[in-house]
Amino acid sequence: CITHCPVGALKERNDVPKIYDVLADTSKVTVVQVAPAVRTAWAEAFNLPPELATEGRMVAALKKIGFDYVFDTCYAADVTIMEEASELLEHLQNPQDHSWPMFTSCCPGWVSYVNKTHPYFVPNLSTTKSPQQIFGALAKSYFAQKKGLKPKEICSISIMPCVSKKREAALFSMRSSGTHDVDIVLTTRELIRLLRAEHINPAMLGELPFDNPLGQSTGAAVIFGASGGVMEAALRTAYHVIEGKEAPEDAFTDVRGTEGRKVREFTLGGATLRTCTVSGLGNAGKLLDELKAGKVHYDFVEVMACPGGCVGGGGQPIHDGEERADVLGNKLYAIDSNRPMRQSHNNPDVQELYKDFLEKPLSEKAEQLLHSDHVKEHNYM
């Protein structure tokens, strides 16, 4: 609604003043995460050519503002895949214990839509939190432990292409660290306003890497920002677990695209997996009605509330009369194809996280920090 309002009457809540307050608070350690879709559009306002509109220059700009640590939400997206792919496999191994199909839960607009309009399907949602919330939980537990900090000493900030992330961060169920796992959410547009207010010219900056240990990520995580990306990333890891080898590079590219609904079938472990990728809540509503009526049947369904996925989110720069989700999505797929690691399970930092802290996907500690009960959230929020 914000990006398509014909008179520009709608806008997100402005949380930039909160950033100035926390930067002035010397008792706080500021930890920033940046979503994959943000890197496709943050530099548009500065007219940077592609060779200058890089992740490294974006990190340098955030450091220039004064944030202590700048991390990549893609790291948390890799963790999301470890949990969600494991969850899908557990469902497939014990089909009688679960509701079908299993829906992705990374998009808070979609989760809110199901809660409000089709609560019958709430149990079908994956319990795995979104990458934003997984990062927030890990920042105030795993990262805090490594740095000798208390959760309350960390201000967890996310920069997202999405307005609904502001609501998600405020949910009572998103306090697994004992406090809000994510304290402040800025949209891409708010980031641009912040950079302008600070008179930062990104073209004049050098490049800096994301900080560690929450900064390294794979190509599978980057494509989370495009419709079909979560599905493809999860299937890459599910295939590895079932088949014991890496999937061919183009094995699951058929789930990509900005169509309202895309249905595909894949063979995993000799069994057929029926998948459905949905773009836009209007199309999601039609799908839910057909599922309830028994007209269609799927095993795994990805839904993105915004047409084209997060790259076309309500917090992205607005170009009047122009749809750019397809163009920006292709940028993410290009980054993915050039990454040396393209499967979430191969991320060494994620492997270290499980070895040193979480033990394994779906462990008791992982369930506590990285999963949410959508049924309780629906009943009490």
DSSP string, 203-243: GG----PPPSSS----HHHHGGGSTTHHHHHHHHHHHHHHH
pLDDT at 103: 97
Residue 91 to residue 102: CA distance in whole angstroms: 8
Nearest alpha-carbon partner for 185 in 261, 83, 73, 110? 73
Check pLDDT > 50 for residue 379. no
Residue 234 to residue 246: CA distance in whole angstroms: 13
Residue 181 CA to chain centroid, in angstroms?
15
Residue 71 to residue 256: CA distance in whole angstroms: 27
Q: What are phi and psi of 139, to 5 degrees?
A: -65, -35
Q: With contact defined as beta carbons under 8 Å apart, do 279 and 299 qualify?
A: no
pLDDT at 290: 97
pLDDT at 12: 87
- Fold assignment, 81-127+218-343+373-380: Fe-only Hydrogenase (Larger Subunit); Chain L, domain 3 (3.40.950)
Nearest alpha-carbon partner for 53 in 38, 33, 72, 34? 38
Mean of the per-residue pLDDT values for the chain?
Answer: 93
The encoded tokens of residue 320 equal 């009047």
Nearest alpha-carbon partner for 125 in 312, 378, 376, 374? 374
Residue 71 to residue 139: CA distance in whole angstroms: 10
How many residues in total does the chain contain? 381
- Per-residue confidence band for 380, with pLDDT thresholds at 50, 70 and 90: very low
Q: With contact defined as beta carbons under 8 Å apart, do 307 and 280 qualify?
A: yes
Largest alpha-carbon pair distance within the chain? 59
Pairing state between β 271-279 and 261-268: antiparallel
The encoded tokens of residue 304 equal 């993105």
- 3-state class of 312 per DSSP? helix
- Per-residue confidence band for 251, with pLDDT thresholds at 50, 70 and 90: very high
> Mean per-residue pLDDT for 166-180?
91
pLDDT at 5: 80
pLDDT at 59: 97
Tell which wins on pLDDT, 75 or 172: 75
Contacts of 96 (CB under 8 A, 6+ apart): none
Q: With contact defined as beta carbons under 8 Å apart, do 15 and 166 qualify?
A: yes
Nearest alpha-carbon partner for 117 in 276, 287, 263, 296? 287
Residue 5 to residue 274: CA distance in whole angstroms: 36
Q: With contact defined as beta carbons under 8 Å apart, do 18 and 184 qualify?
A: yes
Instruction: Tell me the per-residue pLDDT of 96-146, one tens digit each, with 9 for 90 and over.
Output: 999 999 999 999 999 999 999 999 999 999 999 999 999 999 999 999 999
- Per-residue confidence band for 258, with pLDDT thresholds at 50, 70 and 90: confident
Residue 210 to residue 213: CA distance in whole angstroms: 9
> Mean per-residue pLDDT for 83-90?
95
Check pLDDT > 60 for residue 7. yes
Nearest alpha-carbon partner for 246 in 274, 219, 227? 219
pTM: predicted TM-score of the whole model, two decimal places: 0.94
Helix residue ranges, H only, 94-130? 108-117
Check pLDDT > 60 for residue 263. yes
Residue 159 to residue 192: CA distance in whole angstroms: 11
Check pLDDT > 50 for residue 378. no
Residue 178 to residue 176: CA distance in whole angstroms: 5
Q: Which amino acid is at 124?
A: N
